[in-house]
Amino acid sequence: MAIQNMIQLSDGFVFDYSTMLGDGRLSVEDINGLKCATNKAAEAIDVIRATGHAKNHLSKDGEPEPVFFMRLPYVKQDFPNNPRSMQKLHALAEHVREEVDAVIFLGIGGSYLGNKVLFDIFCGETWNCLSNEERKKRPYIFFAGNNLDPMQSLNLRSLIRNIGKTGEKKGDKFKVMIVPISKSGTTLETLTAFSYYYDKCISSDYIETEVAVVTGLDEATDSPLFRLAKEHGWRYFDVKDGIGGRFSVLHDVGLVTAAAIGLDIEAILDGAKAMDMACRSHDVWENPALLNATLKFLAADKCNCDIEVLMGYGMCLKSVSEWYVQLLAESLGKRYDRNGNTVFYGRTPIPAVGTTDMHAQTQQHQDGRRNKVVQFLYVESFSKDIVLGNPFPHIPEFSKYYGLSMQKALKAAMNANREALDGDKRFSAMYSLPLLDEFHVGQLLYFLMLSVAYEGELANVDAYDQPGVEAYKRIMKRELGR
Ligand code: PA5
Sorting pLDDT into bands at 50, 70 and 90, what band is 3?
A: low
Question: How far, in Å, from the CA of 372 to the mean position of ligand 1?
Answer: 28
Cα separations (Å) of 463 from 167, 332, 338? 45, 6, 10
Name the 3-class secondary structure at 415: helix
Question: How far, in Å, from the CA of 8 to the mean position of ligand 1?
Answer: 34
Phi-psi region of 237 (alpha: psi -120 to 50; beta: other; left: phi over 0): beta
Percentage of the chain lying above the pLDDT 90 cut: 86
Checking DSSP bridges between strand 342-345 and strand 334-336, what pairing results, if any?
Answer: antiparallel
Name the 3-class secondary structure at 273: helix
**pTM score of the predicted model:** 0.96
Tens digits of per-residue pLDDT, 317-374? 999 999 999 999 999 999 999 999 999 999 999 999 999 999 999 999 999 999 999 9
Tell whether the model's pLDDT for residue 457 goes beyond 60: yes
Tell the burial category of 109 from Cβ atoms under 10 Å away from its Cβ (0-12, 13-18, 19+): buried
State which of 143, 187, 213 you would mutate to test the pocket of ligand 1, scoring each by most atoms of that ligand within 8 A of its C-beta. 187
Atom of ligand 1 nearest to the CA of 189: 15
Alpha-carbon span 422 to 2, nearest angstrom? 8
Choosing from 208, 308, 330, 455, the catalytic residue is 330
Question: How far, in Å, from the CA of 21 to the mean position of ligand 1?
Answer: 36
Name the 3-class secondary structure at 464: coil
Question: How far, in Å, from the CA of 190 to the mean position of ligand 1?
Answer: 10
pLDDT given for residue 247 in this prediction:
98
pLDDT given for residue 409 in this prediction:
95
Contact residues for 130 (Cβ-Cβ < 8 A; gap 6+): none
Choosing from 29, 133, 359, 397, the catalytic residue is 359
What mean pLDDT comes out for the span 259-281?
98
State which of 57, 184, 452, 466 you would mutate to test the pocket of ligand 1, scoring each by most atoms of that ligand within 8 A of its C-beta. 184
Question: How far, in Å, from the CA of 355 to the mean position of ligand 1?
Answer: 31
Alpha-carbon span 452 to 445, nearest angstrom? 11
Atom 8 of ligand 1: nearest residue by CA position: 109
pLDDT given for residue 1 in this prediction:
54
Atom of ligand 1 nearest to the CA of 107: 15
Q: From 463, 466, 444, 467, select the one nearest 453 (Cα to Cα).
A: 463
Tell whether the model's pLDDT for residue 257 goes beyond 80: yes
Sorting pLDDT into bands at 50, 70 and 90, what band is 468?
A: confident
Alpha-carbon span 480 to 474, nearest angstrom? 10
Neighbours of 358 (CB within 10 A): 20
Atom of ligand 1 nearest to the CA of 112: 7
Length of the chain: 482
Max avg pLDDT among 203-207, 305-309, 475-479? 305-309
State which of 67, 105, 106, 111 you would mutate to test the pocket of ligand 1, scoring each by most atoms of that ligand within 8 A of its C-beta. 111
For the chain, count helices (H), then strands (E). Answer: 16, 13
Contact by Cβ (8 Å): 309, 372: yes
Neighbours of 299 (CB within 10 A): 23
Question: How far, in Å, from the CA of 260 to the mean position of ligand 1?
Answer: 21
Question: How far, in Å, from the CA of 112 to the mean position of ligand 1?
Answer: 9
Residue 8, strand partner residues: 14
- C-alpha R_g of the chain: 23
Tens digits of per-residue pLDDT, 388-430? 999 998 998 899 999 999 999 999 999 999 999 999 999 999 9
- CB-defined site of ligand 1, < 6 Å: 108-111, 182-184, 187, 190, 244-246, 326, 330, 466
**Residue 249 identity:** V
Name the 3-class secondary structure at 385: coil
Alpha-carbon span 213 to 187, nearest angstrom? 13
Give every strand in the sheet of 102-106, ordered side by side. Answer: 140-144, 102-106, 174-182, 207-215, 235-238
Question: How far, in Å, from the CA of 385 to the mean position of ligand 1?
Answer: 37
Neighbours of 395 (CB within 10 A): 10
Atom 5 of ligand 1: nearest residue by CA position: 109
State which of 59, 67, 108, 189 you would mutate to test the pocket of ligand 1, scoring each by most atoms of that ligand within 8 A of its C-beta. 108
Atom 1 of ligand 1: nearest residue by CA position: 245
Name the 3-class secondary structure at 94: helix
Question: How far, in Å, from the CA of 294 to the mean position of ligand 1?
Answer: 28
65 is catalytic: no
Atom 2 of ligand 1: nearest residue by CA position: 245
Neighbours of 61 (CB within 10 A): 7
Tell whether the model's pLDDT for residue 2 goes beyond 70: no
Q: From 385, 404, 318, 324, select the one nearest 353 (Cα to Cα).
A: 318
Q: From 317, 323, 272, 266, select the one nearest 450 (Cα to Cα).
A: 272
pLDDT given for residue 467 in this prediction:
86
Choosing from 35, 137, 232, 473, the catalytic residue is 473
Tens digits of per-residue pLDDT, 375-388? 999 999 988 999 99
What mean pLDDT comes out for the span 294-311?
97
Q: From 183, 61, 116, 56, select the one nearest 463 (Cα to Cα).
A: 56
Atom of ligand 1 nearest to the CA of 110: 7
State which of 113, 146, 183, 237 you would mutate to test the pocket of ligand 1, scoring each by most atoms of that ligand within 8 A of its C-beta. 183
pLDDT given for residue 161 in this prediction:
87
Name the 3-class secondary structure at 237: strand
Q: From 261, 266, 267, 265, select the one nearest 136 (Cα to Cα).
A: 261
Atom of ligand 1 nearest to the CA of 108: 10
359 is catalytic: yes
Residue 449: which H helix or E strand, with range? helix 438-459
DSSP 184: S
Q: Provide the mean pLDDT of the chain.
A: 94
pLDDT given for residue 168 in this prediction:
77
95 is catalytic: no
Neighbours of 344 (CB within 10 A): 9
Q: From 430, 301, 316, select the one nearest 371 (Cα to Cα).
A: 301
Name the 3-class secondary structure at 416: helix
pLDDT given for residue 4 in this prediction:
72
Atom 12 of ligand 1: nearest residue by CA position: 182
Alpha-carbon span 425 to 21, nearest angstrom? 9
Atom of ligand 1 nearest to the CA of 246: 1
Comparison of pLDDT for 75 and 474, the residue scoring more: 75
Tell whether the model's pLDDT for residue 137 goes beyond 90: no
Q: From 323, 273, 319, select the one nearest 443 (Cα to Cα).
A: 273
pLDDT given for residue 475 in this prediction:
86
Alpha-carbon span 354 to 348, nearest angstrom? 19
